[in-house]
Amino acid sequence: MSLPRRPLGQTGIEVSRLCYGSLTLGPAQANLSPERGGELLAHAFARGVNFVDTAELYETYPHIRAALRTVAVPPVIASKCYAYDRETARRSFDQARLALDLDVIDLFLLHEQESTLTLDGHRAAFTFFHEQKEKGLIRAIGISTHAVEPVRALAQAKLGRGDALWHDLDIGLYQEADVIHPMLNWRGLGLIDGTAEDMVAATWEAAAAGLGLYGMKMLGGGHFLQDFDAALAFALAQDQVAAYAVGMQSEAEIDMNIALFSGLPVDPADLAATRGRSRRLVVSDWCTGCGACVDHCASRALSLTSSDGKVKVDPDRCVLCGYCAYACRDFALKVV
């Protein structure tokens, strides 16, 4: 049995059920060199993975570019950015094409959309991306999100319905959305609204409306390693989702996940090593307590302590995404 592939909604793009989540290669986590990251990506591509997720924030364009130099058939590449107007959208898009040495980006998404109101606030950027799609420079556009509301809102927009979630706002070009990259795991860890059941229902609504979906955080950033079988079974049962983005930092980990997503036996030693791996967000002693990371955490897992003013991590809420590290000017945060 080979690694399965699924159509990504109505985009005409076919993706492997396992997507390589490149966040873990970047400076907020493993901090691998572009050469080493490229080797891991190329290893995955050679074994059937044809889909890689990145973002401007992750700083992994050089890793992907290194891998692209070694493969005959390029993978499907999804990137994301926080652009909010035409100029920031243009800069982000130009940066991606230049850094990846590509004329066309397969998927370009607005990063971490939290509600219908945030969608409305990023309308100018989304309009720019739609224009690039019309020119053939982007194949599909959409959003990533840790919330249920934007998933339901885009499903409504796709059907041409300006329901209550849109607060009388113009659904406009959001009817042109193609793809959603939602937080989707068996306990709903990391969601900023709703429950796991709510997200499952919303993603089915989006799929029925023709949107393509690929999930994230099936293991809750590592929180579900002790419940690995249940978390994996939940993810693989989500037939409305074309793929799951999974971060991987070694050839053994890549091979293990390819086997799992292909329904093949897994080396018990590899599985034991993965289940036994412990990761955490570390706050270094030189934290100044500026609070920038607190405001940047979508999971609401960070706060400032009253005793010394430094950042405190709530491990029950932290999904170990490492996004907070990019907000820290003093490099005091890191997932290890």
Specify the CATH number for the domain of residue 82. Answer: 3.20.20.100
Q: Is the pLDDT of residue 1 over 70?
A: no
Give the pLDDT of residue 134.
Answer: 97
CA torsion angle 106 240 260 185 (round to 10): 100
What mean pLDDT value characterizes the chain? Answer: 91
Closest CA to 214 of 54, 38, 28: 54
Q: Is the pLDDT of residue 53 over 70?
A: yes
Percent of the chain with pLDDT over 70: 97
Q: Is the pLDDT of residue 310 over 90?
A: no
Distance CA 45, CA 130 (A): 29
Which is more confident, 187 or 316? 187
Considering only 19-33, 189-203, 279-293, which range has the smallest mean pLDDT? 279-293
Single-letter amino acid code for the residue at 118: T
Q: What mean pLDDT comes out for the span 222-228? A: 81
- Of all helices (H) and strands (E), which one includes residue 206? helix 196-208
Q: Is the pLDDT of residue 105 over 80?
A: yes
- State the total domains in the chain: 2
The answer to whether residues 255 and 291 belong to one domain is: no
CB 324 within 8 A of CB 333: yes
Q: How confident is the model at residue 278 (pLDDT cuts 50, 70, 90)?
A: low
Q: Is the pLDDT of residue 225 over 90?
A: no
Q: What mean pLDDT comes out for the span 184-193? A: 92
Q: How many CA atoms lie within 13 A of 312 on its CB side?
A: 9
| Residue owning tokens 């706002």 | 169
Give the pLDDT of residue 275.
Answer: 63
Considering only 50-54, 90-94, 252-256, which range has the smallest mean pLDDT? 252-256
Q: How confident is the model at residue 222 (pLDDT cuts 50, 70, 90)?
A: confident
Core vs surface per residue 127-146: b (16+ CB within 10 A) or e: bbbbebbeeebbbbbbbbbb
- Of all helices (H) and strands (E), which one includes residue 21? strand 18-21
The answer to whether residues 176 and 56 belong to one domain is: yes
Distance CA 313, CA 283 (A): 8
The answer to whether residues 102 and 240 belong to one domain is: yes
Give the pLDDT of residue 235.
Answer: 95
Give the pLDDT of residue 277.
Answer: 66
Q: How confident is the model at residue 41 (pLDDT cuts 50, 70, 90)?
A: very high
The answer to whether residues 124 and 258 belong to one domain is: yes
The answer to whether residues 216 and 294 belong to one domain is: no
SS3 266: coil
Among 161-170, 180-189, 307-316, name the most confident range.
180-189
The answer to whether residues 257 and 305 belong to one domain is: no
pTM attached to this predicted model: 0.89
CB 41 within 8 A of CB 48: no
Q: What mean pLDDT comes out for the span 293-320? A: 84
The answer to whether residues 231 and 159 belong to one domain is: yes
CB 206 within 8 A of CB 155: yes
Considering only 85-99, 131-145, 170-184, 292-306, which range has the smallest mean pLDDT? 292-306
Residue 304 backbone zone (phi > 0: left; psi -120 to 50: alpha; other: beta): beta
**CATH code assigned at 289:** 3.30.70.20
Q: Which of these three, 275, 294, 322, is where a domain ends?
A: 275
CB 325 within 8 A of CB 334: yes
Give the pLDDT of residue 327.
Answer: 81
Q: Which of these three, 235, 252, 275, is where a domain ends?
A: 275
Give the pLDDT of residue 184.
Answer: 96
The answer to whether residues 270 and 293 belong to one domain is: no
**Adjacent-strand bridge partners of 213:** 180
Q: What mean pLDDT comes out for the span 40-65? A: 97
Distance CA 183, CA 196 (A): 9
The answer to whether residues 271 and 309 belong to one domain is: no
Q: Which of these three, 223, 246, 275, is where a domain ends?
A: 275
The answer to whether residues 102 and 152 belong to one domain is: yes
The answer to whether residues 41 and 118 belong to one domain is: yes
Considering only 14-18, 128-132, 314-318, which range has the smallest mean pLDDT? 314-318
Tell me the backbone φ, ψ of residue 278, rounded to 5 degrees: -115, 130
Domain span holding position 305 = 281-335
The answer to whether residues 120 and 28 belong to one domain is: yes
Give the pLDDT of residue 306.
Answer: 66
Give the pLDDT of residue 334.
Answer: 74
Q: What mean pLDDT comes out for the span 37-49? A: 97
